Amino acid sequence: MKNSFLTALLVMFSFFKVNAQEVKAKEVVSPTVFEKQITAKKIQLIDVRTPKEYQEGTIFNAVNIDYLGDDFETTIKKLDKTQPVYIFCQSGKRSAGAAAKMQKEGFEVIELAGGYKAWKAEHD
């Protein structure tokens, strides 16, 4: 009985340890820091707004993957998990949701604080 209990505890601990390792880091940075980071290296830059919002203006070299779209989860799986992903939306709400999903998939995520609105405010 004692061995069964210990075995069960070890299995539970192993399960939680594995799950904890799957969730990668998320960082929320200011537009100034975001800009420095995306221009300093080759990165994956994702605009998670709708295609209409994307067409109205975006950050140079951003790829549009609509967080509200039906194919968001399948599309992000095509990204390189060995490289950080820089994401933004209009104000920060959708990108927070997208970041959470991406972290669960094993991505390191850097999110633009305040979204595209904050970016535009600093670049206008």
Question: Alpha carbon of 21 to those of 15, 42, 45, 81, 106: distances in Å?
Answer: 10, 26, 24, 14, 9
Average pLDDT over residues 74-91: 95
Residue 41 pLDDT exceeds 90? no
For the entire predicted model, the pTM comes to 0.79
pLDDT at 56 over 50: yes
CA dist., res. 41 & res. 98, Å (int): 22
Rounded CA separation 41/48 (Å): 21
CATH architecture, domain defined by 23-123: 3-Layer(aba) Sandwich (3.40)
Instruction: Provide the percentage of residues in the chain whose pLDDT is more than 70.
Output: 80
Average pLDDT on 10-24 reads 49
